[in-house]
Structure 1
Amino acid sequence: MMTFLNFWHTHTPILSILIPAFTAFLLVLLGNPGSGSLARDWRQPWRRALSLISAILGLATAITYLIQASSGQIFVYQLSEWSAPFGIVLVLDRLSALMVVLTYTLAVPVLWFSSKQWDERGRYFHAMFHFLLMGICGAFLTGDLFNLFVFFEILLMASYVLLLHGQGKARFQLGIHYVTINLVASALFLIGLGMIYGAVGSLNMADVARLLPTLENDQHQLAISGGLLLFAVFGIKAAMLPVGFWLPKTYAVAATPVAAIFTIMTKVGIYAILRVNGTVFHDDLAQNYLNYWLLPIGLITSLYGVIAAMGADRLRRFAGFMVLSSVGTILIAISIMNTSAWAAGLYYLVHSTLIAAAFYLLCGWITSQRGEFKDHLKVAPKMKQDGLVAATFFIIALMMAGLPPFSGFLGKVLLLQSTADFPYQAWVIAIVLVVSLLSIIAFTRVGFILFWRATTPETDARKPTFAAYQALPEKAPPRNDKSIYLLLSGLMLYVICAAPILKYMDQTALQLVNSTAYEQAILKKDAQGNTISVQPYDAHYVPETKYGGEIADKNAQYIPHIIDKNTLQGEHISQYKQQQIQQQVKQSHTPDDAKLKPMEQ
């Protein structure tokens, strides 16, 4: 048992990436005959079982992450046993644990709903679903900016396939738009990373945060420019204005479970803004740029989303605009730049993700009950489950509009309280209250069309509309209503347990601004206590291995501090290098600084 616990503790951060990765590969190897014959394929029950078991295991793993991170310790996993900033590391802290739990809390009911019918409408649904989970969890856990780009690409490639799940002309057209926008964003991401690396010489988040204030003016400006370019990229992912117009139409054409799971993807962009622009680029100049742009963007996004929702002509687009509005609310919280606002924003982030997913699932239920009217906001015959659907819509409307006693209301109240010393307090309070009022009006309009003005179904059996109405399902699609109830129950529990949850959110926000704790946990120090860094960057420096020949290396003394002890004793460190290490360690009693020294030319 102790061996297992030690293994678990050592490899904890990478398990949430490996579980969906191996599941996805197994599902691909299992094969897929095509959407037309999936219902009759003998492997389909195996796909569903493997997929669901993996998701439940991922949720259990995420909960253990939350328990571990709640102690306040920052867990670091060194890939290939090379420490930061020379190697890529995964970092498990309170924020990453929270986001991984949120991901799987949403994924399990959505996948359970999909496994009854929706997964038969396209190939490799389950495999792509788990590749998506792999990319999302990796983005939340990585401590390296380039690795963040890699995981973004993984989740985006999976999302491209999932968006087209079920086929259709509209999905293909908007899928092209979605892919094009994200390819442009990926190109900008790489350019931003190049600017940061060229100025700082490192892409490790903790190392960039440590080195940024020490750069010369021209390098500092270049690094800040790279950070602002990343902000634009993350804004595209989060769907903030003016680069978020793609979201309502794109999510509107996605299959019901795909739209539901996609609600976590906007939060990946918000997470990246908070993690990178909020804490890595934390010096005064970077924060001035961020504050200058982020608050007005958040205010405009929140207000635009709800105004556009009031004029939406389809229910799914209405849901997309409400998601857009909630993104603006979270950006407002981040822009206030104090831990109370960040805690409120994180609390509201969890709420907005789960309620948006529940709303998209409700859209699928309503569409199935309205026949040819689908989700168009037009007067139609009364639905067969009119009372139950109306009650579910009413609860979702109260939660999404932010009315008491639900979690959306609590999140907005906490946000308003955090503006006590904020210079633009009046603007924040005014916009948040106006958006809440307009949200109530928007939901009232939709409910009025769908339920209050619904006409009496045709009773004359001789008319074709009678047969069409009778052919509509008597009940919700399989597991559709139950999945909604699961999410709504989770949100009820979320507000009931608000006290310990808010305490965790406060501690998360405090941990985020403690850059010293991240530096101590992630970066290594030499025998004199100086941080071992890559500055100044030297393009001619090539670390020696046993294949590099016997070259004098002035940096040999730092090798024991940046690689694993077992690796140091292994065959890849030559005898000549071992002698250099021992000699330099003896001679380095009073080094000037723990920085790499250029090699002799």
Structure 2
Amino acid sequence: MNIFVDFWQQHFPILSILVPAITGFILILLGNPGAGTLKTDWRQPLRHLISLSSTILGFILAVMMLIFANSGQIQHYELSEWSAPFGIVLVVDRLSALMVMLTYILAVPVLWYASAEWDQRGRYFHAMSHFLLMGMCGAFLTGDLFNLFVFFEILLMASYVLLLHGHSKSRFTMGVHYVIINLLASSFFLIGLGLIYANVGSLNMADVARLFPNLDDSQHQMALAGSMLLLVVFAIKAAIFPVGFWLPKTYAVAATPVAAIFALMTKVGIYAILRVNGTVFSDPEGQRLFEQWLLILGVITSIYGVIGAIGAERLRRMIGFMIISSLGTILIGISLFTQQTWAAALYYLVHSTLIAACFYLLAEWITVQRGTFKDHLKLAPVVKQQRLLSLLYLLIALIMAGLPPFSGFLGKVLLLQGTGYHAQQIWIILAILLVSLLSILAFVRNGFILFWRATPAENNPEDETFAQYQTLPDQPTARANHVIYVFLATLILYAVCADPVYRYTYATAEQLMDKTLYQQTILKTDATQNVISVQPFDSNYLPELKYGATSDDPYQQYIPYIISPKTLQGEHIPEEKLKKIAEQHAASPDQDAKLVPAE
């Protein structure tokens, strides 16, 4: 037991990435025949066992991570045992633990639902799902900007395949648009990283946050331009107005479990905005630009989304517009830049993700019972489970529109309370109330079309529409109703437990704003308590090598600070150099040789 505890304490930050990564590789090696033979393939039960077991294990790890983060500690994990900023690190704090937990709260029921039928409609569904989980967890846990780009690409590549799952002309068409938009965003991402690295000299988030305010004016402006370019990238990922037009149609054509889990994809962009633009580049000038632009974009996004929901011609597109509207509400909270509004935004983020996934599942249930009318918002014969479906629709509408006593209402109230001393308080309150009113209007309009004004079923056996109506299913697709009930129960419990959840999100916001704590945890100092950071570029500098006579390394005294003791004892460092390191390490380091920030 002690061995397990020691292993967990040492390696738990990377396990949430390794578990889905290893699972994905195993599922690929297991093979996958064509979609037409998956139902009878003897390996299909094994795929389900591996996939669901891994997802449950990931959920357990996420719970343990959340319990650790709730203590207020920050844990960092040094890959290859190289410390920051020279090596890549993973960081577990309150925010990353919350996002990983949300990922698995969504993934467990959705993958269980997909295992009943949907995974038989295309190849490698479970493998791609786990690579998607790997990318999302990696994005939430990384402490390095370039590594954030890497994990973004991993989750995007998996999402490209999942979007086409089930094969159809509309999915292929929107898939091409989705790929092109994200490739363009990825190009902007690399350009932004290049600007930041060229002027700051580091891509470690803690190190960049420490160096950024102290750059000279020209370097500061160039690095700030890089951060604004990253903000554009994250806005595309989060489907913020005016770069979020792709979301409603793209999510509408995706397979139901894919659309449900994609409800979290936009939150990766929101997370990146909060983590990178909200904390790393939050000196006075960066914060001023952040607040001014993000508040405007948040209000416009929220109103644009709800107007799109009112005018939507299909139910699934309406859900996409409602997701965009909820993203705008979250952005308003983040833009106000206070602990209270950040805490409210995080509370609302969890709510909006779960209710959107639940709504996509309900849309699938309604669609299969409307026959050829599918999810088009046109008058059609009454569905066979009219009473149950209308009640579920009403409950989801109340939660999603933000009516009391549900979590959407509580999230908006907490956000409004945080606007107390803001100069634009009245306008923010009016915008949020207007969006809530328009959301109710959208749900009422579509509810009347789907249920209250539905035409009576044909009861004349001689009419051909009678036979068509009789062939429609009178039950939901397998497991859909159970997963909907699980999500609704979770959301009701979420509202009941609003006080402890809000205390956690408030502590999360407080921890995010304490950049000193984050830096002290991740960055190391030398014997004189100076932060060991990047060195200035010197074309004449050549480190001492084991197998060749080169000039002495003036920075060798810092080696014990940036690599682990086990690595230091390895054979790759010459004995003569080890002696010099030991001698210099015992004495006070030469101040002239100190590693300093890049200039």
TM-score range, shorter chain: over 0.9
Which secondary structure does the structure 2 equivalent of 1:146 belong to?
helix
Matched residue, 1:110: 110
Please tell me the residue identity of whatever aligns with 2:494.
Answer: Y
For residues 575-594 of structure 1, what are the structure 2 equivalents within 5 Å?
A: 575-586=575-586, 588-589=588-589, 591=591, 594=594
Describe how 1:507-586 pairs up with structure 2 within 5 A.
507-538=507-538, 541=541, 543-547=543-547, 549-586=549-586
**CA-atom RMSD, angstroms?**
1.3
Deviation at 1:163, TM superposition (A): 0.2
Tell whether the 8 Å contact from 2:554 to 2:593 is kept in structure 1 after alignment: no
Q: What residue is the counterpart of 2:211 in the other structure? A: 211
1:585 Cα offset (Å)? 2.7
Query: Secondary structure of 2:59's match?
Result: helix
Deviations 1:431-458 (A, max 9, x none): 0000000000100001000000011111
Change (3 A) 1:597 1:217: closer
What pairs with 1:244-259 in structure 2 (closer than 5 Å)?
Answer: 244-259=244-259
CA contact (8 A) 2:34 2:123 kept: yes
How far 1:551 moved relative to its partner?
Answer: 3.3
1:27-46 aligned within 5 A: 27-46=27-46
1:538 deviation in Å?
Answer: 4.0
Distance 1:276 1:461 in 2: 64
Counterpart residue number, 1:170: 170
Match of 2:456 in 1: 456
1:226-245 aligned within 5 A: 226-245=226-245
Shift of 1:579: 2.6
Aligned residue runs from structure 1 range 154-303, under 5 A: 154-303=154-303
In structure 1, the residue matched to 2:348 is: 348
Counterpart CA distance in 1 for 2:541 and 2:481 is: 61
1:155 is paired with a residue whose SS is helix
CA distance in 2 between counterparts of 1:108 and 1:328 reads 27
Report the CA distance between 1:543 and its aligned residue. Answer: 4.6
Alpha-carbon deviations, 1:99-142, whole Å to 9, x = none?
00000000000000000000000000000000000000000000
- The residue identity in structure 2 corresponding to 1:258 is V
Give the drift of 1:552.
0.6
Residue 131 of structure 1 corresponds to 131
Displacement of 1:594 in angstroms is: 3.9
Give the Å deviation of 1:461: 1.2
In the alignment, the residues of structure 2 paired with residue 539 and residue 492 of structure 1 have an alpha-carbon distance, to the nearest angstrom, of 62
TM-score (norm 2): 0.98
How far did 1:541 drift? 4.3
What TM-score results when the alignment is normalised by the length of structure 1?
0.98
Q: 1:566 to 1:434 in 2, by over 3 A?
A: same
Name the CA distance, whole Å, in 2 between partners of 1:507 and 1:123.
Answer: 43
Give, in whole Å, the separation in 1 of the partners of 2:480 and 2:544: 59
Matched residue type, 2:269: G
1: CA distance, partners of 2:547 / 2:326 = 55
In structure 2, distance between residues paired with 1:334 and 1:548: 54
Q: 1:403 and 2:403 equivalent? A: yes
Give the 3-state SS of the residue equivalent to 1:208 in structure 2.
helix
Contact 1:553/1:580, CA 8 A, preserved across alignment: no
Indicate how the Cα distance of structure 1 residues 542 and 492 shifts in structure 2: closer, same or farther if over 3 A, else same: farther
Which residue does 1:69 correspond to in 2?
69
2:264 alignment partner, SS class: helix
In 2, Cα distance between equivalents of 1:406 and 1:22: 39
Measure, in 2, the Cα distance between the counterparts of 1:589 and 1:154.
42
On the 8 A contact 2:555/2:594 being kept in 1, the answer is no
1:574 Cα deviation after fit: 1.5
CA distance in 2, matches of 1:301, 1:311: 15
User: Residue 81 of structure 1 aligns with which residue?
Assistant: 81
In structure 2, do the counterparts of structure 1 residues 453 and 542 end up closer, same or farther at CA, with 3 Å as the change threshold?
farther
Structure-1 residue corresponding to 2:502: 502
Q: Give the Cα separation in 1 of the matches to 2:58 and 2:281.
A: 32
Q: Are the aligned partners of 1:555 and 1:596 in contact in 2 as well (CA < 8 Å)?
A: no
Task: Flag the 1:415–1:81 CA change in 2: closer, same or farther, 3 A.
Answer: same
Unmatched runs of 5 consecutive residues or more in structure 1: none
Change (3 A) 1:189 1:379: same
Instruction: Specify the code of the residue in structure 1 equivalent to 2:232.
Output: A
Matches within 5 A, 1:45-56: 45-56=45-56
Provide the rounded CA distance (Å) in 2 between the counterparts of 1:362 and 1:545.
64
1: CA distance, partners of 2:60 / 2:539: 45
Q: Show CA shifts across 1:454-506 (max 9, x none).
A: 11111111121111111111100000111111111111111111111111011
2:259 maps to a residue whose letter is A
Q: Which amino acid aligns with 1:141?
A: L
Aligned counterparts, 1:12-31, within 5 A = 12-31=12-31
Distance 2:535 2:296 in 1: 37
Asked if structure 1 preserves the Cα contact closer than 8 Å seen for 2:533 and 2:597, the reply is no
Per-residue CA deviations over 1:341-400 (Å, capped at 9, x if unaligned) read: 000000000000000000011111111110000000001001011111111100000000
2:152 maps to amino acid: F
Matched with 1:375 is: 375
Contact residue 212 and residue 220 of structure 2 kept, 8 A? yes
Corresponding residue for residue 94 of structure 2: 94
- For the 8 Å contact 1:78–1:90, the answer to whether it is kept is yes
> What residue number does 2:439 align with?
439
User: Counterpart amino acid of 2:561?
Assistant: H
- Render the CA deviation track for 1:219-242: whole Å, top value 9, x for unaligned: 111110000000000000000011
- For 2:332 and 2:392, the matched residues in 1 are separated by 29
Cα separation, 2, equivalents of 1:480 and 1:597: 55
Q: What's the CA shift string for 1:515-546, capped at 9, x where partnerless?
A: 11011100010011110000434466455453
Distance in structure 2 (CA, Å) of the matches to 1:422 and 1:270: 22
Which structure 2 residue ranges, 5 or more long, are not aligned?
A: none
Mapped partners of 1:218, 1:193: distance in 2? 17
Q: Provide the C-alpha distance between the structure 2 equivalents of 1:395 and 1:124, rounded to a whole number of angstroms.
A: 35
Q: Which shifted more, 570-579 or 554-563?
A: 570-579
Cα separation, 2, equivalents of 1:388 and 1:459: 22
SS in 2 for 1:77: strand
Contact 2:81 2:564 in 1 (8 A): yes
SS of residue paired to 1:431: helix
Residues 201 and 597 in structure 2, CA contact (< 8 A), matched pair in contact too: no
The percentage of counterpart residues that share the same residue type is 64
Closer, same or farther: CA 421–571 of 1 in aligned 2, 3 Å? same
What corresponds to 1:360 in structure 2? 360
Q: Relative to structure 1, is the Cα distance of residues 285 and 168 closer, same or farther in structure 2, using a 3 angstrom cutoff?
A: same
| Deviation of the 1:157 alpha carbon | 0.1
2 CA distance for matches of 1:35 and 1:404?
45
1:35 Cα deviation after fit: 0.5
Distance verdict in 2 for CA 1:376–1:290, change over 3 Å:
same
Partner of 1:414: 414
User: Which residue in the other structure is 1:471 paired with?
Assistant: 471
Residue matched to 1:387: 387
SS of residue in 1 equivalent to 2:383: coil
> CA–CA distance in 1 between the matches of 2:420 and 2:206?
31
CA–CA separation in structure 1 for the residues paired with 2:450 and 2:538? 66
